[in-house]
Amino acid sequence: MYNHVDTDPLVGTLFDGRYLINFLIDRGGMGNIYNANDVKRGNIVALKMLRPEFSDDPTIVRRFQRETEAVSCLKHKNICQLFDVGITRDGIHYFTMEFLEGRALDKILKQRHVLPPDLAIHYMVEVAAGLCDAHNHGIIHRDMKPANIFIVQTANTPEFIKILDFGVAKIDEDVEALHQKLTNAGSTLGTPYYMSPEQISGGEVDGRTDIYALGVILWECLFGAPPFEGSTLIDIFKATMQEKLPKLPPALRASKQWKRLYKILDKALQKDRDKRYHSMQAFLRDLSQLDTKSSSQNAQPILMETPPSLPVFHYLHAFTPARIAIAGAILCAVVALSVAIAVTLMPQTTTQEQSAFHTYKFFSDPPVNIILGEKDLGTTPLSVELDEKIPFSVVFREPSGSEYKILVTDSPKDVTGFAVNLHPEHTDRPMLRIETNPPDADITVDGAPYPLKTPCNIAASLLQMTVEIKLDGYRTETLQVITNGGEMKLHSNLFRP
């Protein structure tokens, strides 16, 4: 649960004529968060306001505004939802979001040091699912850390994750180049232990930066400390840039599932981002195979938990060579017996060849949920990796329950996405607006090269057309666009190979 921090002069007052302040939840680097009653809507909210002394600092105000911009378009269940944004007559910026009951992951780790592997994996699966939605909307978090992962704990409801604080998010926009560096107090682009090598070196970041951070967090949940440590900021950065990932302790190397997990961690934590998972969806797919707490039928259990006395942590970070020899022998003897018993009890499984995964994009106007079988894949615009055998059906489901079904076939060949105008507005000359990030992509319509590069308008008189989007250095996209004869806008964030 939230702890009431201390008394505050705003407690008991009506803020901006609408929010009755109940208590102070937390004091942050730039602002305070309060529990408040929204007297207009009649619900309890978390109210985050920028402290008055920062209201005249354009850099800090911009960061505060970036958080609202990032979260306003995200509706995923694992992302804390934004309600309202405002500024008082005195110039105080604020926004309200859903009030959450539970604890942040950093508080849990401070108390428990490590988590059972199945729980740690499940938490990261939910975080990755939320970040997939953010990345699909062109938003990179850039500051993932345990403090920004909130475990919601309420009576009679299973625990679930909410991602917090998109204050340093990178937002892909055509109208604004968001490359400025926020270096003032409280506005660093990431937190040292969880920063990727490209962040440390000041390079450009993309979704693989968030993948790296989740790898560090998962490692810390399993072993009690980040994989790369140091006594100073320079030491942490040096270790991150130069040191190899610690090996699994000998006691864990006999477990096939621990080996699978280590392989995932090793790939997520590569120094060279081109060697990491190419997308959050790919990271999520592999990690989900080990998530025994989800509904996945293919999840493989991690049979041995990290021992509560933290020998794994000490093996990696605290043992001297002499202690390793003594403690290692004792640990191996004790754990080997546990592994032997667990393996004996483990159901025998056979390794099946994995199906080939293909990345599909789904767009719609207006945004709707994409349903595959009984599974809700998320809200458009959406990018998802599927291993379904062609042909298969995908449903565009509106909040009203109305559905539009499409059949994915092998004709035309190499289709990578679908866009549907569900409520077309018919005009004399309907146009399809195509925008890409980055721009200047070549367009082909039904096999014929189009004379203009993106952004551009294409006559949408045909009910359906095949549009190919091609830009050097990025994946070529072939989209089946169903305009239904109406005006439509399509914006695609292009992916690297």
Per-residue pLDDT of the chain (497 residues; tens, 9 = 90+): 444 545 678 888 999 999 999 999 887 767 889 999 999 988 999 999 888 888 888 877 887 777 777 777 788 899 988 899 899 998 888 999 999 888 899 999 998 889 999 999 999 999 999 999 888 888 888 889 999 999 998 766 678 899 988 755 554 443 233 333 333 323 334 578 999 999 999 888 889 999 999 999 999 999 999 999 988 889 999 999 999 999 988 888 889 999 999 999 999 999 999 999 999 999 999 999 998 766 444 455 444 444 333 333 333 443 334 443 434 444 444 444 444 434 343 444 333 333 456 788 899 888 888 998 888 888 888 888 787 778 888 899 988 888 888 888 776 677 889 999 888 877 777 888 999 888 899 999 888 888 888 988 888 767 888 999 999 988 899 998 988 878 888 888 888 77
CATH 3.30.200.20 placement within the chain: 14-98
Q: Is the dihedral of CA 118, 121, 127, 130 positive or negative?
A: negative
Q: List phi, psi (to 5°) of 35.
A: -90, 130
Largest CA distance in the chain: 83
- Rounded to 10 degrees, the C-alpha dihedral 444/446/448/453 comes to -20
Cα(6)–Cα(21) distance, rounded to whole angstroms?
Answer: 13
Asked if 281 contacts 385 with a C-beta cutoff of 8 angstroms, the reply is yes
pLDDT at site 250 = 87
Cα(9)–Cα(465) distance, rounded to whole angstroms?
Answer: 61
Cα(131)–Cα(127) distance, rounded to whole angstroms?
Answer: 6
Among candidates 218, 95, 224, which has minimal Cα distance to 164?
95
Query: CA–CA distance from 377 to each of 129, 158, 316, 395 (Å)?
Result: 10, 21, 38, 10
pLDDT at site 264 = 97
Local structure of 121: helix, strand or coil? helix
- Rounded to 10 degrees, the C-alpha dihedral 412/418/424/430 comes to -60
Residues in Cβ contact with 172 at an 8 Å cutoff, skipping those fewer than 6 apart: 138, 139, 178, 437, 493
Cα(84)–Cα(87) distance, rounded to whole angstroms?
Answer: 10
pLDDT at site 451 = 84
Asked if 210 contacts 145 with a C-beta cutoff of 8 angstroms, the reply is no
Residues in Cβ contact with 149 at an 8 Å cutoff, skipping those fewer than 6 apart: 104, 105, 123, 127, 161, 162, 163, 164, 217
Residues with catalytic function: 143
Which DSSP letter does residue 13 get?
A: S
pLDDT at site 73 = 78
Cα(64)–Cα(48) distance, rounded to whole angstroms?
Answer: 10
Spell out the CATH class of 14-98.
Answer: alpha beta
Q: List phi, psi (to 5°) of 420.
A: -130, 130
CATH 1.10.510.10 placement within the chain: 103-172+190-345
pLDDT at site 469 = 94
pLDDT at site 7 = 66
Cα(92)–Cα(69) distance, rounded to whole angstroms?
Answer: 17
Q: Is the dihedral of CA 285, 275, 195, 302 positive or negative?
A: positive
Among candidates 146, 139, 137, which has minimal Cα distance to 67?
139
H/E run at residue 264 = helix 256-268
Q: Which amino acid is at 76?
A: H
User: Taking the CB of residue 94, how many other CB atoms lie within 10 A of it?
Assistant: 22
Residues pairing with 96 in the sheet: 47, 84
**Taking the domain 103-172+190-345, which CATH number applies?**
1.10.510.10
